[in-house]
Amino acid sequence: MAVKLAYHANCWGPLGGNAVGVTSVTQLTYRTFADMNRAFADIARAGYEGVEIFDGNLLDETPADLRRKLADAGLELVSTYSGGNFIFPDILGEELARIERVAAAAAEAGASHYVLGGGAKRAGGIRDDDYKRLGEALDQAGEIVRRAGLRAHYHPHLSTIVEGPAEVTRVFGLTDLDFCPDTAHLAAAGGDPAAQVREFSGRIGLVHLKGLQREPFGFTPLDAGDLDNGAVIQALKDINYSGWVMAELDSWPDPFEGAARSHAFLKRHFA
């Protein structure tokens, strides 16, 4: 199996967003408030070949400047990540316009994948047709992403309407997008990430792995916590997965140390 190892650059500073997005949805991007040069240097030093960044960090500079920074670090831009509400018709056009802008910039910067997360939880509770709305919106977003030359993936996530295994199965019956499993989010919501990898074996082109500590709740490097990412890697081997494996860790006291520990874990299990 041919796998390449990458790391998300979200660990080097606090997660935030573009505050203008509060009043202008088309500007509502994620971003890590950090020195991306340091993040890229640490990720490369830890042994990874590629990186994923949030859409806000991607749009923070020109694609040419980002390409130069990545080349200097010896990294490839694998993917970018965007979130969206996706269930409200009045703002969907604005969300899709943002995705179109991000997809174009990502392609120009050399990315090959685009990861989407979201599906808003309403204040009054989830409505049954929210899943249909989400599936339709994801298909529209996926078409935009594919036109830009990128592969589109949906990433189930805590705090959205797609958390537990039944919801994951349901939404992938309503969209054509690929499944990007995030092992910690799937496990925290009651899923079995290894089993879900096997369930969607034909629809996985990018994988997010991170560790999970249940009590107190938190994310960890891959060699720590309560989640058996080794079993997930075995499932990936069993389905003959080839492609990028993206380790991820939302925050850690020493980001380089966390990245290096996860890299050692991946090298050991994929050996």
Our CA angle for 166, 169, 171, nearest 5°, is 105
| For residue 1, pLDDT beyond 60 | no
pLDDT in tens, 88-105: 999 999 999 999 999 999
Residue 39 has a pLDDT of: 98
Residue 271 has a pLDDT of: 87
| For residue 239, pLDDT beyond 70 | yes
| Residues β-bridged to residue 7 | 51, 247
pLDDT in tens, 38-80: 999 999 999 999 999 999 999 999 999 999 999 999 999 999 9
Amino acid at 188: A
At 197, the pLDDT band (50, 70, 90 cuts) reads very high
Domain CATH code at residue 77: 3.20.20.150
In this structure, what DSSP letter does residue 189 have? T
The alpha carbons of the chain give a radius of gyration, in whole angstroms, of 17
- The most distant pair of C-alpha atoms in the chain lies apart, rounded to whole Å, by 49
What is the rounded average pLDDT of the residues 249-258? 97
Nearest to 98 by CA among 175, 158, 21: 21
- DSSP track, 17-58: E-GGGGT-GGG--EEE-S-HHHHHHHHHHTT-SEEEEEHHHH
| For residue 185, pLDDT beyond 80 | yes
Question: How far is the C-alpha of 140 from the C-alpha of 36, rounded, in Å?
Answer: 31
Range of the domain at 204: 3-270
In Å, what is the CA distance from 12 to each residue of 43, 63, 116, 257, 259? 10, 21, 21, 11, 11
What is the rounded average pLDDT of the residues 191-198? 98
List the end-to-end C-alpha distance of the chain, in Å, as a whole number: 10
Torsions phi, psi for 102 (to 5 deg): -70, -45
Number of domains observed in the structure of the chain: 1
What is the rounded average pLDDT of the residues 238-266? 97
| For residue 158, pLDDT beyond 80 | yes
Question: How far is the C-alpha of 148 from the C-alpha of 63, rounded, in Å?
Answer: 14
| For residue 200, pLDDT beyond 80 | yes
Residue 83 has a pLDDT of: 98
